[in-house]
Amino acid sequence: MSISKLNKFLCYLVLILLSILCLISFYLLIINSTRAHSEIQKGFSFNFGDFFDANLKNVLDNDQLPVLKGIRNSLFVSIGTAILATYFSVLTAFSIHTYDFKFKRLAFTFIMMIMMVPPQVSALGFIRWMGELDLMDSLIPLFLPSIASPIVFYFMLAYMQSNLPKATIEAARMDGSSEFRTFNLIVLPIMKPAIAVQAIFTFVSAWNNYFIPSLIIRSAEKKTLPILIAQLRSADYLKFDMGQVYMLIFLAIIPIIVVYIILSKYIVRGVAVGSVKE
């Protein structure tokens, strides 16, 4: 066997092993969601159980856990976060990439400095500010701040610098296109692969976010899925049901898989057709 074939074989072998490691957790989750609490306590099994319907019914009929409302709230927050973060990050990156203004470097440095601040540092001030704005126990603070997403902005700017020649923008201006028309009809289609990647990341991050929602949300009808999962896991030992926990987690990952399937076709695409290379 030649060196190139050996390297190719090793690469495929490593990828297969990594894929198995990634998929085994999903397999365990699905298996345990079909088993009763007593069966799960006995240990791992590769065989499906007979309690999928029972676990699903118990989760949906649990008066202490408004699961359907939690799914609705999480979808609302996650979709809003993905849309606001990607659109306004592309818009900010477009202004930094296209225009030359006096404090351009200072603005870029300021955004990068904000990116280095962890959310835990500003959490207390954010909660106090939301209290002053009378936005406690509201879903608005969970998605509206995503308008300012430095990490998403940096990714969009890096992609734009490689795939959006300024000649494309200049050509649109010469044809009489306004700035917003150029942005919405030319820039956004070119940025689809980057938007799809960051939409998935921001959606998953907002969907799994527990820290800020646990500090903001108080009423049961506005709780998101991570709060409900934590609430179910911390239930009384006599009422604790691992089958329900696994079922609720199983329900929580379904929207993530659906979003990935919808957006994955844009990730594998290259630069949009019609872009001009400088």
Contacts of 130 (CB under 8 A, 6+ apart): 136, 138, 141, 216
Which pTM value belongs to this model? 0.83
* pLDDT digits 0-9 by tens, 45-71: 778 888 888 888 888 888 778 888 999
**Across 111-133, average pLDDT:** 86
What is the per-residue pLDDT for 16?
A: 92
**Across 250-271, average pLDDT:** 77
What is the per-residue pLDDT for 267?
A: 65
- Angle, helices 225-233 vs 242-267, to 10°: value is 150
**Across 94-123, average pLDDT:** 86
Fold of 52-267: MetI-like fold (1.10.3720)
* 87 compared with 262, residue with greater pLDDT: 87
Most confident of 54-68, 84-98, 225-239, 243-257: 84-98
Q: How confident is the model at residue 241 (pLDDT cuts 50, 70, 90)?
A: confident
What is the per-residue pLDDT for 270?
A: 43
**At residue 191, what is the residue type?**
M
Q: How confident is the model at residue 237 (pLDDT cuts 50, 70, 90)?
A: low
Give one DSSP letter per residue of 151-207, joined into a string: HHHHHHHHHHHHH--HHHHHHHHHTT--HHHHIIIIIHHHTHHHHHHHHHHHHHHHH
* pLDDT digits 0-9 by tens, 136-177: 999 999 999 999 899 999 999 988 888 888 888 888 888 888
Whether 272 shows a pLDDT value over 60: the answer reads no
What is the per-residue pLDDT for 278?
A: 43
Token pair of 181, please? 């028309």
Whether 123 shows a pLDDT value over 60: the answer reads yes
- The CA-to-CA distance between both ends of the chain, in Å, stands at 43
* pLDDT digits 0-9 by tens, 176-201: 888 888 898 889 988 888 898 889 88
Backbone phi, psi, residue 103, to 5°: -105, 35
What is the per-residue pLDDT for 239?
A: 63
